[in-house]
Amino acid sequence: MTAASQVIVNDTHDPTAVEPLEGAAVRDFHRGLPGYEPTPLLDLPMIAERLGAARVSVKDESSRLGLPAFKILGASWAVAREVDRRLGGAGLRTVDELREAVAAQTVSLSRLTTLVAATDGNHGRAVARMAALLGLSAIILVPRDMVPARIDAIASEGAEVIVHDGDYDETVRRAATMDSDTHAVIADTAWPGYDEVPRWVVEGYATIANEVLEQLSAQNIPAPTVVVVQVGVGSFAASMVRSFAPTGARMIASEPVSADCLAPSIAAGTPTHSSGTIDSIMAGLNCGEISPIAWPTLQAGVQSAVTVTDDGARDAMRLFARAGVESGESGAAGLAALLAQPGLVRSDDHVLLISTEGITDPVAYAEIVGAIRAEVSA
């Protein structure tokens, strides 16, 4: 029997302890990437009415720099910083400058040749895209239950894909062993002795928040009062908490009931491994452990943690579709949290949802959403 959604209120949260995230340098870097433009920020009154909120804004990350998810923002910044570090640390460099530096390496046993990542889909594809842009190879490890469409998408970037006989957390540990002078591991979670790259990943996601605040300001709309963030390993959530908690927004976290590492951690007051089966359709959130660098931020900044069912994610995908948004399973998890726990929203709230991915599994999306027509108001 599937566990029901639950909400854990964080009685010890302290937003004043959250370190604000400055993203100016990151945003400048992203502006230099091929095809950069801000993703849409949508006003969706249909969903606001359903939730009983004054306004619902949705940041639509279904097409970010030519990829169907937001992950390229964290991956590109982390890859750029790590490649620069390995090539002598000349400072912040553009993609063109980094590609030239990679090509100019002397032939030796320590020559950087390959980027390595473990992934549940979107992060690995983003790392593979960056490898191709820089003239490097990529090896992407995926867990045994990865659907073929996501494997094919990673391989389409020119990467070697290795299916590891384990879940996501076990696949991360296998990838970690591949780090060497020639192979750079680009992970979005940390472990003892490895935290610099995942910190850069957190920084990279700040561009989403910077765009949101600029887009709202351009319309003379105040910052959101509620921000819902999806939690996998916690890097994305930590970035959004550091970006929006200092503005006074109430931060609500969403994660699958079968991969709930944040909610029990908040309840226990210490990082706690999920007791779930780690097999949600929300593949991007199938993580059993919170990243150590994300945990302090989430413990301080998240007001409530909500666990959501796969059926809840399906319902949220359908509601998004009726509103004209193509949102994948993980992308719809934030909306699923508020549909499951409507008491978290007040009638005067301006809610920000971030649809973190579009259609990454076309077969599953068609089965879930079907022929729903968007009910977009004129």
71-197 maps to which CATH number? 3.40.50.1100
Alpha-carbon span 88 to 350, nearest angstrom: 46
Contact 329, 283 (CB under 8 A): yes
Are 211 and 39 in contact by the 8 Å Cβ rule? The answer is yes
Asked whether residue 1 carries a pLDDT value surpassing 70, the answer given is no
Residue 304, classed as helix, strand or coil, is strand
pLDDT at 292 over 50: yes
CA distances from 226 to 90, 202, 214, 291, 295 (A): 40, 20, 17, 24, 20
d(CA 351, CA 250): 9
Residue 200: count of CB within 10 angstroms of its CB: 23
State the Cα–Cα distance between residues 324 and 44, nearest whole angstrom.
Answer: 9
| Residues contacting residue 60 through CB under 8 Å, at least 6 positions apart | 39, 40, 41, 42, 325, 327, 355
| Tokens at 347, concatenated | 């009638």
**Region 114-118 average pLDDT:** 98
Domain 6-69+199-369: assigned CATH number: 3.40.50.1100
Does the pLDDT value for residue 152 go beyond 90? yes
For 336, residues 6+ apart whose C-beta sits below 8 A from its C-beta are: 254, 308, 309, 312, 313, 315, 316
DSSP conformation class of 344: G
Give percent of the chain with pLDDT exceeding 90: 92
Would you state the pLDDT for residue 322?
A: 97
Q: Lowest-confidence range among 46-55, 100-109, 260-269, 329-338?
A: 100-109
Please give the average per-residue pLDDT across 296-323, as a whole number: 98
Spell out the residues 6+ positions from residue 27 whose beta carbon is closer than 8 angstroms to its own: 206, 207, 210
CA distance linking residue 145 with residue 284, whole number of Å:
12
Residue 377: the pLDDT is 43
The runs of H, that is alpha helices, within the chain are 24-31, 45-51, 72-86, 95-103, 122-134, 148-155, 168-176, 196-204, 206-218, 235-244, 262-268, 295-301, 310-322, 333-340, 362-369
Active-site residue list? 71, 120
CA–CA separation, 315 vs 205, rounded Å?
A: 27
pLDDT over 70 at 170, yes or no: yes
For the chain, give every domain's residue range: 6-69+199-369, 71-197
**In which band, very low, low, confident or very high, does the pLDDT at 376 lie, cut at 50, 70 and 90?**
low
For residue range 230-273, list pLDDT tens digits in order: 999 999 999 999 999 999 999 999 999 999 999 999 999 999 99
